[in-house]
């Protein structure tokens, strides 16, 4: 059967959605927008539904994951859903002991630091394929409800996921991970290869079930210099993205504080670059090859300012992205949990009321 991403609205499909067009380098007059972490604690309906279920358990209940994915689309009128899951869900499905501690983040029972730890990683065979079934099911349920609104699938990139595994939990400097990379490049290589396969197949399962675009999150990659990235990370992110390279979906790649890595991250096989709020989009466009669509990058801080300041920032982001081949509006990073949801709804309405300034033809 034909992939949904190829089916046009005329046939009841999503292929004509302007957000997907922007990601393919075709501009629309009206801005397209979604928010990283649009699903989650900022929404009272999310908190109500999640009550009594742990974060990771909710991710493997297809009905719940689908409903949580749909909540922000209904409420805010954003132009895409982001699949509700987490970058450590694949590790859990592969059999590793990991939980998400509220207010902390992912915590692994056994940090992966030695050769024996890496030796003990579960093989990613048929068991893993079967374990991905609830993910595929959740995506199918979601896509059926979304109609002509695209679903964005995602995975964590090898560096960011491996960092949680090596550190055992969240970390500011990712020192153990970066030390492993330098002192035992052979072990790092084996770990990153395993994670690339883990994340890559999670990504592929989502696309085969109907996701129309993907985003690879390398949230913490900004901790690395260009040399370390090129030598130890780029090939593994490329391996993860290669799992969907034969499918007709745009591939967005995003990192925080990664202005110095825009080109190497694009070089890992992305087709569009997510940019955080530290770098203006017109600056990013000076670095990226002509024709690269960009995504971003309203500073999440303006969600806690006056509406006037917020809309001024949004206008500035539209202007800075006007010269891009394609632009999908987003925040520079995720929605903070204490965001007033009405602020997001109003921001979407404001963005949809704006017209994209076209370069003179």
Q: Does 36 participate in binding ligand CP3 (rule CB under 6 A)? A: yes
Q: Does 347 bind ligand CP3 (CB under 6 A)?
A: no
**Does 57 carry a binding-site annotation?**
no
Give backbone dihedrals phi and psi of 274, rounded to 5 degrees, phi first: -85, 135
Determine if 87 is a binding residue for ligand CP3 (CB under 6 A): yes
- The region of 82-90, 128-136, 234-242, 276-284 touching ligand CP3 under the rule CB under 6 A is 82-90
Beta strands in the chain (DSSP E): 32-33, 81-82, 98-101, 105-108, 151-156, 213-217, 251-254, 272-274, 294-298, 327-331
Q: Interface with ligand CP3 includes 334 (CB under 6 A)?
A: yes
Question: Of the candidates 236, 170, 233, which has an alpha carbon nearest to the alpha carbon of residue 198?
Answer: 236
Closest approach of Cβ 359 to ligand CP3, in Å? 32
Catalytic status, residue 41: yes
- Beta carbon nearer to ligand CP3, 102 or 147: 102
From 75, 79, 86, 276, active-site residue: 86
Q: Which of 37, 184, 260, 283 binds ligand CP3 (CB under 6 A)?
A: 37
Active site residue 37: yes
Site map (CB under 6 A) of ligand CP3, residues 267-306, x = contact? ----------------------------------------
- The reply to whether 55 sits near ligand CP3 by the rule CB under 6 A is yes
Angle at CA of residue 345, ends 60 and 54, nearest 5°? 20
- Confirm or reject binding of residue 222 to ligand CP3 (CB under 6 A): no
The CA-CA-CA angle for residues 269, 274, 277, to 5°, reads 150
DSSP 273-316: EE--TTS-HHHHHHHSPTT--EEEEE-GGGGGS-HHHHHHHHHH
Q: Tell me, yes or no, if 75 is annotated catalytic.
A: no
| Under rule CB under 6 A, residue 39 binds ligand CP3 | yes
Q: Is 39 annotated as a binding residue?
A: yes
Size of the site for ligand CP3 (CB under 6 A): 24
Which element (helix H / strand E) includes 109?
Answer: none
Phi first, then psi, for residue 294 (nearest 5°) are -125, 160
217 binds ligand CP3 (CB under 6 A): yes
90 binds ligand CP3 (CB under 6 A): no
Q: Do 87 and 161 form a contact (C-beta atoms < 8 A)?
A: yes
Q: Is 254 helix (H, G, I), strand (E, B) or coil?
A: strand
Please tell me which residue in 6, 24, 37, 176 is annotated as part of the active site: 37
Does residue 84 touch ligand CP3 according to CB under 6 A?
Answer: yes
Q: For residue 52, state whether it binds ligand CP3 (rule: CB under 6 A).
A: no
Taking the C-alpha atoms of residue 330 and residue 344, their distance in angstroms, rounded to an integer, is 11
61 binds ligand CP3 (CB under 6 A): no
Q: By three-state DSSP, how is residue 62 classified?
A: helix
Cα distance between residue 166 and residue 23, in whole Å: 34
Q: Considering only residues 41, 61, 283, 352, which one is a binding residue for ligand CP3 as defined by CB under 6 A? A: 41
Cite the annotated binding site by residue number.
Answer: 37-41, 86, 164, 219, 333
Catalytically active residues, by annotation: 37, 41, 50, 86, 164
């Amino acid at each position: 059967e034909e992939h949904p991403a190829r089916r046009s609205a005329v046939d009841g499909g999503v292929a004509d959605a302007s957000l997907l067009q922007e990601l393919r380098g075709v501009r629309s007059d009206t801005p397209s927008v979604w928010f990283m972490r649009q699903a989650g604690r900022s929404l009272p309906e999310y908190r109500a539904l999640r009550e009594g279920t742990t974060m990771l358990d909710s991710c493997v209940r297809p009905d719940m994951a689908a409903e949580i994915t749909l909540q922000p689309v209904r409420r805010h009128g954003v132009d895409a859903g982001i699949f509700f899951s987490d970058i450590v869900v694949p590790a859990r499905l592969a059999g590793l002991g990991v939980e998400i501690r509220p207010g902390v983040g992912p915590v692994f029972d056994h940090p992966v630091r030695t050769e024996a730890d890496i030796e003990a990683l579960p093989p990613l065979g048929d068991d893993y394929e079967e374990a991905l079934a609830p993910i595929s099911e959740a995506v199918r349920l979601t896509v059926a409800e979304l109609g002509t609104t695209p679903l964005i699938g995602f995975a964590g990139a090898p560096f960011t996921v491996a960092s949680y595994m090596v550190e055992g939990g969240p970390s500011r400097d990712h020192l153990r991970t970066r030390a492993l990379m330098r002192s035992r490049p052979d072990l790092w290589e084996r770990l990153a290869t395993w994670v690339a396969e883990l994340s890559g197949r999670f990504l592929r399962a989502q696309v085969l079930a109907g996701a129309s675009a993907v985003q690879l999150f390398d949230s913490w990659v900004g901790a690395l210099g260009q040399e370390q990235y090129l030598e130890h990370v780029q090939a593994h992110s490329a391996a993860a993205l290669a799992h969907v390279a034969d499918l007709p979906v745009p591939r967005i790649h995003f990192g925080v504080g990664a202005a110095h890595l825009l080109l190497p991250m694009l070089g890992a096989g992305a087709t569009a670059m997510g940019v955080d709020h530290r770098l203006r989009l017109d600056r990013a466009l000076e670095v990226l090859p002509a024709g690269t669509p960009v995504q971003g990058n309203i500073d999440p801080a303006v969600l806690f300012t006056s509406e006037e300041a917020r809309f001024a920032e949004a206008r500035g982001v539209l202007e800075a992205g006007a010269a891009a081949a394609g632009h999908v509006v987003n925040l520079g990073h995720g929605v903070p949990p204490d965001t007033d949801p009405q602020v997001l709804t109003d921001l979407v309405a404001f963005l949809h009321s704006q017209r994209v300034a076209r370069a003179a033809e």
